[in-house]
Amino acid sequence: MILSSGGIDSTTAMAIAKSEGFEIYSLTFDYGQRHAAELEAARNVALALGATRHLVVRIDLGAIGGSALTADIAVPRGRSESAMQSAIPVTYVPARNTIFLSCALAWAEVLEAADLFIGVNAVDYSGYPDCRPEYIRAFEAMANLAIKAAVEGTLKIAIRTPLIRMTKAGIIRAGAALGVDYSLTRSCYDPDARGRACGDCDSCLLRKKGFREAGIPDPTIYAR
Residues contributing to the site for a copy of itself (CB under 8 A): 55-61, 63-66, 88, 92-99, 102-103, 105-107, 109-110, 128-130, 132, 134-135, 138-139, 141-143, 145-148, 150-152
**Least distance to a copy of itself, CB of residue 217, Å:** 35
Instruction: State the Cα–Cα distance between residues 145 and 124, nearest whole angstrom.
Output: 31
Nearer to a copy of itself, 48 or 106 (CB): 106
Spatial distance between the Cα atoms of 65 and 94, rounded to a whole number of angstroms: 8
Whose Cβ is closer to a copy of itself: residue 120's or residue 180's? 120
Cβ closer to a copy of itself: 37 or 146?
Answer: 146
C-alpha 170/C-alpha 213 separation (Å) is 9
Least Å from the CB of residue 125 to a copy of itself: 13
Q: Minimum Å distance from CB 56 to a copy of itself?
A: 8
Beta carbons within 8 Å of 72's beta carbon, 6+ residues apart: none
Burial 66-87 (b: 16+ CB within 10 A, else e): ebbbbeeeebbeeeeeeebeee
Q: Closest distance between a copy of itself and the C-beta of residue 59, in Å? A: 4
CA distance 27 to 46: 9
For a copy of itself, the closer of residues 158 and 221 by Cβ is 158
Instruction: Give CA–CA dist 132/121, Å, rounded.
Output: 7
- What is d(CA 198, CA 201) in angstroms, rounded to the nearest whole number? 7
Smallest distance, Å, CB 87 to a copy of itself?
Answer: 9
83 versus 88: smaller Cβ distance to a copy of itself = 88
Q: Do the beta carbons of residue 133 and residue 121 sit within 8 Å?
A: no
Of 48 and 142, which has the nearer Cβ to a copy of itself?
142
Q: Please state the closest distance from residue 51 (CB atom) to a copy of itself, in A.
A: 16
Q: Which helix (H) or strand (E) holds 191?
A: none
Cα–Cα nearest to 157, from 145, 142, 140: 140
